[in-house]
């Protein structure tokens, strides 16, 4: 029997180090919590106005203030997080935000600067984080599988079926999906995996706590279950990706079989 067939697990979380960008709340926080429960060490990166410091204290980790659209500031925050941890094996990034604007409105064409802002906030920041973290992961000693780390960015099912008014957001999330496979190829030589998760509507941020009747209307096109996802559902998928060395280069939908209608 081949030696690799005898291995039960590829990536053990115990004593591994993770950076969680957007980890002060929602899906990324849930992932940091699950990573900690499995014996990992965490660094939380989020806005100064976030609950990042409290979350980091609760998880026995460190907090590093960052605005992901400050490219140099992001590098500084990642360097500080890696210094605090000693190394980094896992990076989960959920930073980003939406924009509701049609390509053409009664007021005129979609403002170009608003489209650019959405691309910078969601796509450019994700690439910037990925490239910087990959360089840190490449310095790790490989495990028996030759693996040094795993990066997960957050796309959206809007990347594939964006609704009316989501042209900027859909373009940005489609960019994340599009770069993920190439990134996996780029980083394969140093044993770093790259994946993306594409959630449907989750109970986080602006959608958290909306009345049930509105929530049901938003998820009526889901196959099952017909409800919004919870942060733990994202976390379960993210941790599964980390622990499974065969998960690489993919954008995994976590969406209850939902396909967005035009509006």
Of the candidates 4, 169, 234, 242, the residue annotated as catalytic is: 169
Two tokens at 166? 């989501």
Concerning whether 234 is annotated as a catalytic residue, the answer is: no
**CB half-sphere exposure, 150, CA atoms < 13 A:** 29
Which positions are catalytic? Answer: 169
């Amino acid at each position: 029997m081949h030696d690799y067939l005898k291995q039960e697990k590829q990536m053990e979380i115990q004593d591994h180090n993770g950076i969680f960008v957007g980890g002060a709340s929602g899906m990324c926080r849930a992932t940091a919590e699950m990573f900690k429960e499995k014996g990992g060490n965490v660094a939380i990166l989020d806005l100064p106005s976030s609950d990042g410091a409290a979350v980091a204290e609760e998880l026995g980790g460190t907090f590093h203030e960052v605005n992901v659209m400050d490219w140099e500031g992001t590098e500084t925050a990642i360097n500080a997080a890696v210094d605090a941890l000693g190394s980094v094996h896992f990076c989960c990034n959920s930073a980003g935000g939406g924009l509701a604007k049609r390509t053409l409105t009664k007021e005129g064409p979609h403002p170009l600067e608003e489209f650019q802002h959405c691309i910078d906030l969601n796509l450019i920041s994700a690439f910037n984080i990925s490239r910087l973290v990959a360089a840190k992961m490449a310095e790790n000693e490989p495990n028996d599988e030759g693996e040094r780390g795993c990066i997960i960015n957050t796309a959206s099912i809007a990347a594939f079926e964006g609704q009316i008014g989501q042209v900027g957001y859909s373009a940005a999330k489609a960019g994340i999906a599009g770069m993920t496979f190439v990134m996996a190829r780029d980083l394969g030589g140093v044993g770093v995996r790259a994946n993306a998760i594409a959630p449907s509507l989750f109970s986080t941020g602006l959608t958290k706590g909306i009345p049930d009747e509105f929530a049901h209307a938003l998820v009526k096109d889901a196959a099952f279950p017909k409800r919004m996802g919870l942060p733990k559902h994202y976390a379960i998928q993210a941790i599964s990706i980390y622990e499974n060395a065969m998960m690489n280069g993919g954008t995994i939908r976590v969406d209850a079989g939902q396909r967005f209608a035009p509006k």
